[in-house]
Structure 1
């Protein structure tokens, strides 16, 4: 039995993991899918003060208070920034890091540092026009090539993201380097992906990598394939 903590990306919430969570639970694993502060069922608490550190604290405190060890920690998209921060403060609790089509930051970088300039400027413009300068409206699911059956549902479920979560620079002083099992899963079937550079960064670090042919929301498009991959990675060298 493995212990998984699955961290969603921007604009999403625990809801996006439901299919994978159920599949992992059915196979006897422990699964936690925290919703980060300010989005989804936590959207009533949305504020300009929510930044990357707040989300790192959300996940780190879950691990502390649930007294979890040997965690398989997976972050999707923006969630990659979060799990890097968690690995910095709790490296002794983590057995493996899995970046699911996710941002892979170096010390001193923010998510916006890794976005193409036109994507970054679009988010800033949308925040200024529709979010009082600090809330970024959700990007339509079609842009991420979410499967056609789920697009309308995903668009209804997604909520604004605090801009500060994209702009705060991460401070990494060696915590993640203490974790020996690291893997990057690349979603290879959506146009305009900004994650190719992070995929290349993972390979340059000597990490194991894999690809799943689907849109960005792998947990929705290919839940069975992702579940199998998570279980395989949890078992590897474990």
Structure 2
């Protein structure tokens, strides 16, 4: 797995002019640095909060692999540490049956903590990733499905109304809108585009000003974006060490 990732990094090509802000922050990173970060990674079990992860999942950003939960959680933690006042809703909350379980799991990463003003999540919609972003100050929620399917948007909306709004003490207060300015072009990049959209929203994008932030050139930079997220997760993993490696599995 490590060898496959290192070999893939060597093959990644992209055009600098295809990259837009805020994704330019790793343009100066060399492939030697990317490969070094991968080669020193311990592939054993590690914890983000209470969720046990296998570090090998961080390498799912390579090639055209579908992102597993560990990859998504790692990337969400990167966003929480990069932007101010951000809370994460555990992506696994829809995996559970009862409302009590869903609510408890959803708040597991501190999304309802004092001081959080923006809440993000990327959730599994039956072997497909969708995402939502809540701006508590503006009382707005943005839903995103990389396939742009009404059924997936409906599932996301129901999750926000039934779990997220009550958890944030904002029942029936959110104005919900859909982000439709990005669409996956293959069968495996849904998780990646969810993360890209979350970054753009945190960076200031809104549906009405989407074209000021999004550029279709990003479709040409999938390899670069995958490398970028992988490196940021590995760096965050090294920074945290075992600081958040306490607790048990979500139940």
Query: What TM-score does the superposition give when structure 2 sets the normalisation length?
Result: 0.29
Q: Which has the higher contact order (CA 8 A, sep 6+)?
A: 2
Bigger radius of gyration, 1 or 2? 2
Query: What TM-score does the superposition give when structure 1 sets the normalisation length?
Result: 0.30
